[in-house]
Amino acid sequence: MKRLVCAVGLLSVLSCTTKEKSTRQEKNVPDTVQQSGIPVSPPSNESSSAQTNLKNRSTEVTAKWTYEKKVDKDGNMVYKAAINSPTVLNFEFPYEGGSTATLTLRHKSDLAHVYLEVSKGQFNRSFQSGNASIRFDGKPAVRYSLSAAENGRANIVFFDSPQKLISQLKGARKMGVDIEFYGQGTRHIEFTTGGLSWNH
């Protein structure tokens, strides 16, 4: 009889142990699936996007003006500062497809030059003795006379009072230019000029 009671007791203990083990395994299954199949804390797209935006912002700030220093074929030191306009100029045939305007400051052989260049298009050929209207930071517009490029390129025009223009540029955040193009009428071009570093 004692043996029978001991055997029943032993079976009960074994049965409980097996149930506990089975229960623990069942509880652990979802944990294993969660760890291997579903990431607990996925990386946040927002923080990644914010970092990208911050990087782009700093690139924009440092990439506004580009600077160049070189020696030309005659041995003269040439300094340049250039900035592209965010204004896309949409001309008609044969210059369609969008044209970019670039404002450049150049110092060579103790002479300063400021010129405007477009990637496609031609300035009005009557600009000799012509002018462009320039406005800085919402102040009243000032007219600057223009000259053609010496090499005859029609997509470049020079301002006749470069030092006056440069002094205005140094203190301005924005510059707007109204200028006439051949067969395309007068167009308005904006430049974000703040941050210019120019000591020539």
> What is the per-residue pLDDT for 126?
59
The SS3 assignment for 151 reads coil
Q: Is residue 94 part of a domain?
A: yes
> What is the per-residue pLDDT for 52?
38
Q: Is residue 56 part of a domain?
A: no
> What is the per-residue pLDDT for 175?
96
Q: 65 with 73: CB under 8 angstroms?
A: no
Token duo for residue 177: 């230019």
> What is the per-residue pLDDT for 128?
58
Q: Is residue 43 part of a domain?
A: no
* Cα 166 from Cα 135, distance rounded (Å): 13
Q: Is residue 58 part of a domain?
A: no
Q: What total of structural domains would you count in the chain?
A: 1
Work out the number of other CB atoms within 10 angstroms of the CB of residue 46.
Answer: 8
Q: Is residue 128 part of a domain?
A: yes
Q: Is residue 54 part of a domain?
A: no
Taking only Cα atoms into account, the Rg of the chain, rounded to an integer number of angstroms, comes to: 36
Q: Is residue 89 part of a domain?
A: yes
Q: Is residue 10 part of a domain?
A: no
pTM (global) more than 0.85: no
Q: 106 with 112: CB under 8 angstroms?
A: yes
Work out the number of other CB atoms within 10 angstroms of the CB of residue 142.
Answer: 15
Q: Domain of 98: which CATH number? A: 2.60.40
Question: 96 lies in which domain range?
Answer: 64-192
Beta bridge partners of 180: 186
Q: 99 with 118: CB under 8 angstroms?
A: yes
pLDDT block averages, 10 residues each, the chain of length 200? 45 45 43 41 44 37 77 92 94 90 95 96 74 93 91 91 94 94 93 92
> What is the per-residue pLDDT for 39?
43
> What is the per-residue pLDDT for 37?
42
